[in-house]
Amino acid sequence: MTSEFYRDRIIDYYRNPRNYGSIDDAEIKVHESNLLCGDDIELYIKLDEEKKVKDIKFKGRGCAISVASASIMTELLKGKKIDELLTFTKKELVDALGIETLGLNPSRIKCALLPYKALKIGVYNFLGKEIGEEKEYLLDYEAEESL
């Protein structure tokens, strides 16, 4: 049942988002929106010399699912190498959220994956720029690996 994913944990992450804010000198800065509901997220990632996530923050407005998801994602990714951000999967995020995806309707799964989408766009664009790509990378969201 749906209310199962509005567990205390999700509500807590929504009420007290972790890693909330911005990082001025972040290497990766992304602004992504969910067109369905108008929710949006700004994601900031500061890398160290070894291209590990030194700091990661997000801000924006969203529903409990998307804010909790962003909070949890930032917690998971702190200290990770950029390659690990590339291989980070939707399933890892959804599992960490602890929500029963089968019970969530597809429009709400999009809420949970908004931070993921921002992450992937940010990482691909960062890596693209490093090898001199000029084109902005737009993630083909639907074609990405399924859950």
Partner 1 sequence: MCPDQLDPEIIKRDFPIFKRRVYGKPLIYLDNAATTQRPRQVIEAILEFYENYNANVHRGVYRLSVEATEAFENARAKVAKFINAKDSEIVFTKNATEALNLVAYSWGLSNLKKGDRILLTEMEHHSNIVPWQIIAKYTGAVIDYIPFDEEGLLIKEEIDRLLNLGPKIVSITHASNVLGTINNVKEIVEKAHKVGAIAVVDAAQSVPHMPVDVKEIGCDFLAFSGHKALGPLGVGVLYGKRDLLEEMNPFLGGGDMISRVYLSSAEWNELPWKFEAGTSSVADVIGLGAAIDYLNSIGMDKVRAHEVKLTEYALKRLSEVPDIKIYGPRDLDKRGAVISFNLHTIHPHDLATILDEEGIAIRAGHHCAMPLMSKLGVAATARASFYIYNSESDIDALIEGIYKARRIFNL
Give me the residues that bind partner 1 (CB under 8 A), please.
Answer: 1-3, 6, 11, 14-15, 36-40, 61-65, 105, 107-108, 111
CB of 69 to partner 1, least distance (A): 13
CB of 78 to partner 1, least distance (A): 26
Buried b (16+ CB within 10 A) or exposed e, 36-62: ebebbbbbbbebeeeeebbbbbbbbeb
When the beta carbons of 15 and 91 are compared against partner 1, the nearer one is 15
When the beta carbons of 38 and 132 are compared against partner 1, the nearer one is 38
CB of 39 to partner 1, least distance (A): 6
Residue 70's contacts (CB-CB under 8 Å, 6 or more residues apart) are 17, 41, 43, 58, 60, 62, 114, 115
When the beta carbons of 61 and 81 are compared against partner 1, the nearer one is 61
CB of 15 to partner 1, least distance (A): 8
When the beta carbons of 36 and 86 are compared against partner 1, the nearer one is 36
CA distance 69 to 89: 13
Within 10 angstroms of residue 120's Cβ, the number of other Cβ atoms is 21
